[in-house]
Structure 1
Amino acid sequence: MIDQSYPSSRACCTSLHFGLRSPKEPICQNFTVSSKGWPSNQQSYLHFSKEIRVISRRKGWSFSSLKTIISQRREEREKTRRKESHQVQIRILIVVAYQMGALKAMLLYLIIHQTWKITADDEEWKSATATYVKETNGSIVVEGACGYADLHKATYGKYSAGLSSMLFNRGSTCGACFEVRCVDHILWCLQGSPSVILTATDFCPPNYGLSADYGGWCNFPKEHFDMSEAAFTEIAEKKADIVPVQHRRVKCERRGGLRFTVSGNFHFYQVLISNVGLDGEVIAVKVKGSKTAWIPMARNWGQNWQSNVNLIGQPLSFEVTTSSRKTLTSYNVAPANWQFGQTFEGKQF
């Protein structure tokens, strides 16, 4: 937190921005800020910029640390504003429903339920950043650390993204779906803040040789999306290198059933699971041959699961569990004459 006792009137502009001072204080009367907390005139902005540099040096803060604090304060203020607004709305609705008499209870319930739902939905959004991979055709992020290989065949196509380690979670998030929208940038965000649904298909590695605000977008603990160029340009201007975004987890809508791609040899069996609906991310897999019981498989990497049991010549069934603990069993997905490299389709969540 910024030192509020710092003996300089210049600190007022900084403190106003972080919500630590009141504009009514005598020390603050020469400085003005906009509704979003930024300096609203040139004099205030110059003092603000200088004070930011002074405080950053004294506190040993990086620019990314300041941005994190700013973002957190903005979110806190916005949540407080929304809650206060909804509380007022509820009070008004109670009065109106009371005066209406008949059906007042039902009307009140429906409206308040919807109001609370909107509030909950708003609070699901989390802050992050996003960049894009400059592809020659601008359409896909190729391959990836989740093992999906050709993303078009895996049904993910251009709506795929690499995640920073904070979101990637060592590959367990592979296949999960995120709704992402560009926010808080009038120059780069498209009007109306449209959103896209992305599937986690790759890992965005950290680069600790660069600062988190200049090249080290995926450094821990940053939350970052490395998108395809085509998907990025649906939410932001192409000339923007990096934009602030909000994201939230959403249900994955898939066509067709789960896909099981088998690989390995006589001593090593591996299956890649893709096109997973619902949560998208898989936390447990079991395989069963016609001559075996259910065999738990171990995560090899991404969404590749392995077993050392020889299953050649047996029809195969799979039991898949998602992060919400929902389990789906697909019986006899692969026939007895299956071959390594083949893909088979099972049921869908």
Structure 2
Amino acid sequence: MAGSNFIDYVKIHCTSGKGGKGSTHLLRTRGNAKGGPDGGDGGRGGHVIVRGNSQMWTLLHLKYRKHIKAEHGGDGSRMDRHGSDGDDRYIDVPLGTVAKDPDTGEILFEITEDGQEQVLMQGGRGGRGNTHFKSSTNQTPRYAQPGEEGEEGWRILELKVLADVGLVGFPNAGKSTLLSAVSAAKPEIADYPFTTLVPNLGMVAYRDYQSFAIADIPGIIEGASEGKGLGHRFLRHIERNALLLFMIPADADDHRKSYDILLEELRKYNPDLLDKQRLLAVSKSDLLDEELEAEIAKELPEDLPHIFISSVTGKGIQELKDLLWKKLNE
């Protein structure tokens, strides 16, 4: 996924179809000049429907498609003919897409399965024809219902990457290097902050043809929960991960403080993130000896499983896979 092609937030204006009006037709034939009502109902207006598509990874296709309109329903006609329903308009989105009301911030629904459909804007109901209003006191009603208006308004579609494991760390913690080492993903890797500007997703092959998904999330900085750096652009992706793998480089000045800062940014953004399973990997540890590893281990929280790894030499990589798989299947 090229950085310029990854779009995870769009605001679109949607209009569902208006319902068709009911018919006021009265039956008139050569042998029956004063027949009763035979006006049919109007058709339903088209819905605007969001549909999950597992082959999509971005909302790029909606970036320049700001207005989406469904068709109006057809009017009813004589001989109780029902008006045609308006065609629905489908919006295909990647799995993990959330629909929101832009005014209230309310989450309307989430798309998590391929082929899942949710109505974003409801089409108006068709009006009833005059046959419904015939009574003993009014044998020939000359009125029918108009169709209901459709819905119209702005909606936000926001993508939260679906992955089993989310990588959490400061810029240059080695997250992209790890992803490239354990999967076929090829993220951009360089020695400067924010090399990763968009989430990268990779599938990790495991024993016996098993696999799990791991996401490289852009690096956290202090104040990310308030929108500094890449801020909320990436924190929302962490919400969908089953397990969080914190990554702190071996050459960090203070490993415990680094972990505490990362954890605090997640807490400020969404306290529920602290309920997720957590692991800690000390990256770039190929130059550490056993004594230095023991010193660093003393700094780390006792209740947090940790492992020393090097994506360059492969140190601890298989053990990390085993640990991740075990935690994901507990």
Q: Tell which structure's C-alpha radius of gyration is larger.
A: 2
Higher RCO (C-alpha under 8 Å, 6+ residues apart): 2
TM-score with structure 1 length normalisation? 0.24
The structure richer in helix per residue is 1
Scaled by the length of structure 2, the TM-score of the pair is 0.25
